[in-house]
């Protein structure tokens, strides 16, 4: 049964056993583009420190409260804690934005092994003077940066600075094409790209 999930989380869950792909229409292009546009706005409207604080909170929750080896149960657990965290914001818009970038953080948590294989993870942590999580985060950011650089080399990124719908449509198409060319899902490509674009700002 499909509950009231965001576009990104719904698409992630539909990759897993036990979810009915006929219960919703998450694959429609207009829905995907609208979700990406909303996520871009959420990053734009939120102080970077608030986003980083949420990222740290979800990291702690993952380690201490949501350690299930089953991906769907882990997602449900992380979503529950994330929604509770977002509910502490007084303004509805802030709560909605928090839910959007929290979803992106959660999907990125699930996609870490797709970006950094076990052998590379071992090399990164062995050769780094930083702690494991910091070294891994820095390496992931490098991977996300390369992905976004590839996107900005496409025609789909040629948008006016304030035209988020254009940027969203371009990113959606880029990740569809990337999915066809590489072994990376649309969900993982989109989430990683949104995180890098959203957290690269200065505020």
pLDDT in tens, 74-128: 888 999 999 999 999 999 999 999 999 999 999 999 888 889 887 877 787 777 6
22 belongs to a structural domain: yes
Number of domains in the chain: 1
**pLDDT, position 40:** 95
33 belongs to a structural domain: yes
Alpha-carbon dihedral sign for residues 103, 30, 28, 173: negative
**pLDDT, position 24:** 46
**pLDDT, position 5:** 54
How far apart are the C-alpha atoms of 17 and 15, rounded to whole Å? 7
**pLDDT, position 13:** 55
**pLDDT, position 16:** 47
How far apart are the C-alpha atoms of 21 and 10, rounded to whole Å? 9
170 belongs to a structural domain: yes
**pLDDT, position 2:** 38
181 belongs to a structural domain: yes
CB 188 within 8 A of CB 114: yes
In the chain, which stretches have pLDDT less than 70? 1-27, 70, 128-129, 202-203
**pLDDT, position 117:** 82
- 57 sits in which H/E element: helix 48-64
2 belongs to a structural domain: no
For residue 81, the enclosing domain spans: 7-199
167 belongs to a structural domain: yes
Taking the C-alpha atoms of 30, 152, 145 and 76 in order, what is their torsion angle to the nearest 10 degrees?
Answer: 0
**pLDDT, position 131:** 74
1 belongs to a structural domain: no
How far apart are the C-alpha atoms of 189 and 175, rounded to whole Å? 6
* C-alpha R_g of the chain: 16
How far apart are the C-alpha atoms of 55 and 46, rounded to whole Å? 13
**pLDDT, position 23:** 45
**pLDDT, position 17:** 43
**pLDDT, position 19:** 42
24 belongs to a structural domain: yes
**pLDDT, position 20:** 46
């Amino acid at each position: 049964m499909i509950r009231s999930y965001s576009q990104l989380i719904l698409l992630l869950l539909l990759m897993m056993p036990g979810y009915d792909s006929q219960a919703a229409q998450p694959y429609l292009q207009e829905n995907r583009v609208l979700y990406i546009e909303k996520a871009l706005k959420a990053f734009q409207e939120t102080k970077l420190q608030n986003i980083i604080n949420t990222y740290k909170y979800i990291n702690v929750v993952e380690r201490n409260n949501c350690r299930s080896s089953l991906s769907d149960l882990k997602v449900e657990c992380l979503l529950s804690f994330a929604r509770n965290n977002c509910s502490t914001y007084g303004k509805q818009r802030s709560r909605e934005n928090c839910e959007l970038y929290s979803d992106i953080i959660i999907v990125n948590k699930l996609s870490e092994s797709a970006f950094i294989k076990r052998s590379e993870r071992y090399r990164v942590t062995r050769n780094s003077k930083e702690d494991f999580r910091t070294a891994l985060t820095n390496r992931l950011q490098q991977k996300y940066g390369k992905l976004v650089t590839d996107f900005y080399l496409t025609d789909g990124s040629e948008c006016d600075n304030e035209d988020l719908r254009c940027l969203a449509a371009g990113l959606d198409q880029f990740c569809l094409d990337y999915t066809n060319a590489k072994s990376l899902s649309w969900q993982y490509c989109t989430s990683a790209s949104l995180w890098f674009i959203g957290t690269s700002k200065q505020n």
